Structure 1
Amino acid sequence: MNTEDRRQKTEDRGQKRVVSGQWSAISGFLFLLVTCHLSLVTVSNASDLKIGRMKVSIMPEYESSDVLVVYEGKFADKDAFPNQVTFTLPKGVTKLTDVCSLSPGGQHFCQLYNIVNKGEYNETSVKLPYADFFIDFKYSPFNIKSGRFLRDFEYIIKLIYPIDTLEVSIQEPLRSTEFKLSPEPMSKVNKKDLNYYNYTFKDIKGGQDVRFKIKYAKDDTMPSVDIKFSAMSKQDLIERRKGIWLLGIGIVILIAFVIIRRLRTKID
């Protein structure tokens, strides 16, 4: 090998070291960027969050002998998300039927959750990717006996965050009698042979309890609707969640391809 060849190989090795160093620097920068982003999201104080609008639907014996409860709404600051949020649940609730976040396009993304026993009530913690949320669950505040049986229970909405507008809708079970609510409802509507009693509250402070007493009699234990026609499509939710993961993987692959191509251009 002559002197010129050795010099050329030395220059090539030097260029490779430079490229390797550049790649290490880029990798370190990307890692630092992701770490900083996650840190900012993590340290975001969830207690400063505020809900713009929230609707609570309470439906005794709607699709089963339990009480179906639905929380849906939107946090006021959409730029604060993704974020970890907390909701209270009645004592005894250990499982949620759905915990979803809604994208601006209306897609549902199911989320993992954790439920903690807080003594007089339970609490669920979930990380929402978007400000919109949808949570539903069932619980049993009474033990239904055979024959005519009086149902009498109180539902407490324990608010963690302040809310601009809180809407509450309580459904009267089909074939029930002596249906009474306290406080008195503000309005009543009938949808598909079912009566719904509605309330609207403004500027609710965080930490406040909103209470409703529900009382009625019923001669049977049959639900108001057939569950086959009321259940949400879990398969649609699974497919939508799979789609967002595939999109994220595709973006990462595209970024890696662009970086590698630029590095190869510099080597040439």
Structure 2
Amino acid sequence: MLFDSHLHVVDRERLNYPWLEGAGALNRDSLYPDYAREAHRCGITDVLHMEVDVAPQDIEAETAYIQTLSRRPGSLIRGAIASCRPEEDGFADYLERVLANPFVKGFRRVLHVMPDDLSEDPLFRENLRRLAGSRLTFDLCVLPHQIAKAIALIDLNPDVQFVLDHCGVPAVKDGVSDLWKSGIAEIARRPNVVVKISGVVAYADPDTWTVETLRPFVEHSIASFGWDRVIWGSDWPVCTLGGGLATWVAATHALTSGCGDDERARLYQRNAKRFWNV
């Protein structure tokens, strides 16, 4: 059974997504019932929703919408990772509102499509320190050349729990790079970081990738972080760019077929439940 730590729901009738206009095949609705139908078939039992970089004025509305979905009978949704803007003055007040809502398990501020120096903004760093000692995690979605900046942010906040999304967003179609490989090994030395084994199918060549294409990225990430600091995620609907949810689940099982039952259980669900207290 799988705990999916990375579901995106896109509903253009309810929320605004400025980035979708240039998103090609992802510029469409990706609704929870469509995901849930396939997730049930794939053995997914629990889900966290990941923010979808909605327009700033819709950030809290997105959380409210996902919380409504979680209340439907039989819903798989157990919580949400909410969007945030640590570089803005209103973050402290927003944080107080979020802390009052146990449905929100953490934050993410998209960084891989932002200027490299955003995380170096003094207000950004000051506001991130406010998460220290709280129950809220902070997801890092960064490109390989940005891992050094992520490490600097982590080192400034040793009491904040970070999550590295998508194995560090490697360019799978181009093969393993020294930059990515060394970056993963270095960021994994920080004990307050876990890594999501997620998203990699979207970065592979959609027509030619196989399990062996993905293996070095998944295995290096797990070897670097260890079995107690790895978490699985689908990155639906982005994973549809590389074959879809069922394809990624099947690849995950193939990639871990030689592992022990306890190791698979930690990756598949146990670590996530412990990490977010779900």
Tell me the TM-score range normalised by the shorter chain: under 0.3
- Higher normalized strand content (fraction of residues): 1
* Greater RCO structure (CA 8 Å; 6+ sep): 1
Larger C-alpha radius of gyration, 1 or 2? 1
Per the normalisation by structure 1, the TM-score is: 0.23
Per the normalisation by structure 2, the TM-score is: 0.23
